[in-house]
Amino acid sequence: MKANWRLPSRGKHGHLAVKLAVSILLVGLAFRLLYSRSEELPPGVGNPVAERSEVARPAESDDVSPQFDSTGAEDENAGDDECDLFSGDWIPDRSGPVYTNQSCPLIESHQNCMGNGRPDNGYLYWRWKPRNCELPQFNGRRFLELMRNKAWALIGDSISRNHVQSLLCMLSTVEQPIHVFHDEEYKSRGWRFPSYNFNISVIWTPFLVKAAIFEDFNGVSTSPVELHLDKLDTNWTSLYPNLDYMIISTGKWFLKTAIYYENGRAVGCHNCKKEDISEKGFEFAYRRTLHNVVNFIAKSKHKGLIFFRTSTPDHFENGEWHNGGTCRRTAPVKEGEIELKDLNRILRDIELSEYEKASAVAAKNGVNLKLLDFTKLLLTRPDGHPGPYREFQPFAKDQNAKVQNDCLHWCLPGPIDTWNDVIMEIVASAS
C-alpha cells in the first residue's frame, strides 16, 4: 500500500506549455548558432542556468550555500496525474519565514535558536517543493476560516509541542490566540482564536498509553517507566469524541528503560535487567501500543479528520544526545547523502505497518484516518535543529564549552513550519 497522501497535480498542462516554449527557443537558438562565425553566445543571450541560480539565492543571507539544484525535478513525474506532497526537494527561498522569534511570543526557549544566539541564519531560507506540483505557502487567514467553530488537538510528545508552537506562530500573524488552559507542568495547553471560535490544544501523552514516568526535567530517571500497553491514556481518549481534527504521534520515548504491563501484570521489559522479567525490547511495546491506538481510532466511527504522524528523524553526529552528539550543519543535504538511522527506521517501519493494517478498517467504518509521513521532508534538514542553542548564549563564557546539543527538536522558525503548508493543503482539499 502506498503510504503517502496525494493530491491532483495543478501544474501538468503548465509543464507541457513550458516544454513547448523551451523547445521552440532551443531550435531558434541552434539555427542562429549554426550560421554564426563566433563560438560565443550571440550578444544579448545570457546563460539561463546562471540567471536561475542568481534568482534563487536568498537575499541578505551569506550563510546559504545551496547544495542541490531542483532543475528538472518538476519533470521527473510530469506524466503523473497526482502530486505526492511528501516527496520533493528543498529549494532556496529568498522570502524566508512568515514570522520571526521576535514577532511571535509563543516560542519556548529551547526552540528559540536565534534568540539564544545561533550565529547563522541560512537555514531559514529554504522551502519544500514537491516534485510534480506547487505547494502553496500557508495562509493563516484561510486556515482560520476553515477552522471556524472547530476544535483541533496535537496529541503526543515534545515534537507535538514543538509543532503546535509553529502553527500558533503562523496563525498569530492573523490573530493572537488566547491561552485558555494548562496542566500543572504546562505540558498540555490550550488556546482559542476568539474571532473564529477556533480552539487548538496540545495534549502531552508521550506513550499514548497509561504510563508512570519517574524522571526529572533533564530526563534523568530514578526508576524504569511503567507502561500499560493495553490501557490507552485517558488524557487524550477523553477528549477524542469532541475533536474535529487531530494529529496523533509518538516515537522516541519507547527507547527508554521500561517495564511492560498487560492486564495488570508485567509481561516483559526493555533494558530493565530484572531476572524475574523477560527482555522484550522496545519493538514489542511499540508495535503493541500502536496496534491498540490505531485500532481504537479505526473502530471509533469518529467523523472528524484524524492524522497519524510518523516519528521524526534526529541528526546527532559523532554521538547521541547523552554522550556528546552534535548537529553543526548549516544547510540542507541532498537526498541520499544522509541515511535514516537504524532506530528511526525500526520505529517508522512499525508505524507504517500498523497504519496500513488499520486504514482498511477505518475506511470500512467511515473513519477519515490519514497518514502524515514527513520522514523524507525532514531527513535532509540536519541544519534545522537548535544544537547547542537550546540554551541562551551557550558559548558566552567559554568558546570551547562542552554543552548538550538538541538534534531532535526544531528551531522556530525552521523546517517544521513546512508541516503546516502540507497539512493546510490536505485540509483545504478535503473541505
Give the pLDDT confidence score for residue 279 in this predicted structure. 96
pLDDT value of residue 7: 52
Of the residues 163, 270, 302, 409, only one is catalytic, namely 409
Cα-only R_g, the chain? 24
Give a yes or no: residue 411 inside a domain: yes
Q: List, as one string, the DSSP characters of 118-182.
A: ----GGGSEEEEETTS--PPP-HHHHHHHTTT-EEEEEESHHHHHHHHHHHHHHTTT-PPEEEEE
Alpha-carbon gap, residue 399 to 101, rounded angstroms: 24
Residue 205 lies in a domain: yes
Between strands 198-204 and 151-156, the pairing is parallel
**What is d(CA 304, CA 359) in angstroms, rounded to the nearest whole number?**
15
pLDDT of res. 36: 36
CB 35 within 8 A of CB 405: no
**Residue 40 resides in a domain:** no
Contact 332, 70 (CB under 8 A): no
Phi, psi of 401 (to 5 degrees): -65, 140
Q: Give the span between the Cα atoms of 296 and 358, in whole angstroms.
A: 9
In a domain, 287, yes or no: yes
Q: What pLDDT is stored for residue 60 in this prediction? A: 38
Give the CATH number for residue 301: 3.40.50.1110
Q: pTM of the full predicted structure?
A: 0.82
Catalytic residue status for 406: yes
In angstroms, rounded to a whole number, what is the distance separating the alpha carbons of residues 115 and 99? 13
**Distance of alpha carbon 319 from the chain centroid:** 23
Which ranges of 35-130 would DSSP assign to H, the alpha helix? 48-56
The whole-number pLDDT of residue 389 equals: 98
Q: Using alpha carbons, select from 339, 343, 316, 341 the residue that is nearest to residue 327.
A: 316
Does residue 126 contact residue 87 with C-beta atoms inside 8 Å? no
Check residue 81 and give its pLDDT: 58
Residue 417 in any domain: the answer is: yes
The predicted structure's pLDDT at residue 38? 34
Residue 29 lies in a domain: no
Q: Indicate whether 30 belongs to any domain.
A: no
Residues spanned by the domain of 276: 6-15+50-430
Q: In the prediction, which pLDDT does 220 show?
A: 76
Q: What's the maximum distance between 2 C-alpha atoms anywhere in the chain? A: 89
Per-residue pLDDT of the chain (431 residues; tens, 9 = 90+): 444 445 544 444 444 444 444 444 443 434 343 333 333 323 332 332 232 222 233 433 334 433 333 333 334 444 445 789 999 999 999 999 999 999 999 999 999 999 999 999 999 999 999 998 899 999 999 999 999 999 999 999 999 999 999 999 999 999 999 999 999 999 999 999 999 999 999 999 999 999 999 987 767 778 999 999 999 999 999 999 999 999 999 999 999 999 999 999 999 999 998 889 999 999 999 999 999 999 999 999 999 999 999 999 999 999 998 888 999 999 999 988 999 999 999 999 999 999 999 999 999 999 999 999 999 999 999 999 999 999 999 999 999 899 999 999 999 999 999 999 999 999 998 87
- The one-letter code for the residue type at 341 is K
Classify residue 43: in a domain, yes or no: no
- Among the listed residues 157, 233, 314, 406, the single catalytic one is 406
The total domain count for the chain is: 1
Active site residue 23: no
Catalytic residue among 158, 172, 201, 311: 158
409 is catalytic: yes
